[in-house]
Amino acid sequence: MNKIQGFYYVKSDNNVYECKLRGILKRKESKDNCVVGDIVEISEDNYIINVEKRKNIVDRPLVANIDYLVIQFAGKDPDIDYERLNILLLRSFFYKIHPIIIVNKIDLLTPNEIDELKNRLSFLEKLNIKYFLISQKENIGIEELKAFLKDKITAFGGPSGVGKSSIINLLQNEKKLETGETSKRLKRGKHTTKDTNLLELIGGGYIIDTPGFSSIELPDIKDAQELISLFPEFSNRGDCKFNNCLHLNEPSCAIKESVEKGEIDRDRYDFYKRIYEKLKNERWNRYE
Ligand SMILES: Nc1nc2c(ncn2[C@@H]2O[C@H](COP(=O)(O)OP(=O)(O)OP(=O)(O)O)[C@@H](O)[C@H]2O)c(=O)[nH]1
Ligand SMILES: [Mg+2]
Ligand SMILES: [Zn+2]
């Protein structure tokens, strides 16, 4: 479903229907009663009569039911920032968007460096997160990526200069995005994508290229238990001695034991502790 000036464009099979919103759905006077990405039911006379429950929704751009968040990095130039990768993962779990990792520019890596990279990324397999090692420049892994994103709504995020616009240009032909040289000295891209884009994929599906998905601001996590829930590898680990265990210094902690046994990645656990400290100091303690 797409919305342009009061009309809603509903795609069904291979047809697009120009629709209006049934009065009862407008009742709320709210801008999010029917948004891009919604799955809707339409009547014979082209009214939207029902909006299905959403699996997620984001604002700026206002889009619902995003299937994947691609978190993109480059193998080199710039190097992968793992802290940033973990923050983007945290954000995708918070917004309930399934994350996918892309490492682009693997043409710049030696076979040894590719092996090291796979090693560093192995924690993703434990989280059931798929990753793609690709090169836009040498056309490596692009077809597999295309097949994976077909018919899905995919948002792209990641630091500047990793080749997001370059990849997106390969996947869609609606509008070409500006790509820039990565500045050697500063290790960041020169031309930054600033505008909001919702682009149709060549084989079906949509891509969203919006700076918001690259943000590394911590989302509005309200307490420690919510933070813990954003670490999927912490679930189903058996019981800690204390049922409100924060998995920090408590005795008989199932999470710490899993870290010792190598079942939970230590870097991920250390990341958890850093974010816990940060949120505790900067947000949760403020009104105590
Ligand atoms: N070697 C190599 N360079 C690449 C590859 N893909 C993109 N680049 C280069 O990387 C630079 C940055 O690419 P962009 O597509 O502009 O990066 P971006 O992620 O969109 O950057 P922002 O819009 O600033 O967020 C450009 O000079 C590209 O030519 C690749 O696979 N290999
Ligand atoms: Mg760009
Ligand atoms: Zn514990």
**33 Cβ inside 6 Å of ligand 1:** no
pLDDT: which is higher, 251 or 153 = 251
User: What sign does the dihedral 221-222-224-229 (CA atoms) show?
Assistant: negative
Name residue 268's amino acid. Answer: R
Average pLDDT over residues 163-172: 91
High-pLDDT (> 70) share of the chain, %:
86
Top mutation candidate among 137, 178, 179, 216 for ligand 1, by most atoms within 8 Å of CB: 179
Distance from the CA of 140 to the center of ligand 3, in angstroms? 42
Is 192's pLDDT higher than 50?
no
Highest mean pLDDT among 20-34, 74-88, 195-209: 74-88
**137 Cβ inside 6 Å of ligand 1:** yes
> Which of 16-25, 83-92, 126-135, 275-284 shows the lowest mean pLDDT across its residues?
16-25
Is 188's pLDDT higher than 70?
no
Question: What pLDDT shows up at residue 178?
Answer: 62
Average pLDDT over residues 130-150: 96
**172 Cβ inside 6 Å of ligand 1:** no
Question: What pLDDT shows up at residue 259?
Answer: 97
Mean of the per-residue pLDDT values of the chain: 87
Question: What pLDDT shows up at residue 182?
Answer: 42
pLDDT: which is higher, 78 or 23 = 78
Query: Which ligand gives the minimal distance to the CA of 136?
Result: 1
> Rounded to whole angstroms, what are the CA distances from 184 to 77, 188, 190, 214, 244?
8, 8, 10, 21, 48
Q: CB–CB of 98/70 below 8 Å? A: no
**107 Cβ inside 6 Å of ligand 1:** yes
Specify the ligand 1 atom closest to the Cα of 136.
31
**189 Cβ inside 6 Å of ligand 1:** yes
Query: Which ligand gives the minimal distance to the CA of 181?
Result: 1
Specify the ligand 1 atom closest to the Cα of 160.
25
**182 Cβ inside 6 Å of ligand 1:** yes
Domains and CATH numbers, the chain: 2-53 (2.40.50.140), 63-214 (3.40.50.300), 224-284 (1.10.40.50)
- Residues 249-273 have pLDDT tens digits of 999 999 999 999 999 999 999 999 9
Is 110's pLDDT higher than 80?
yes
**192 Cβ inside 6 Å of ligand 1:** yes
Question: What pLDDT shows up at residue 16?
Answer: 79
Residue 267 and residue 82: Cα distance in Å, rounded? 9
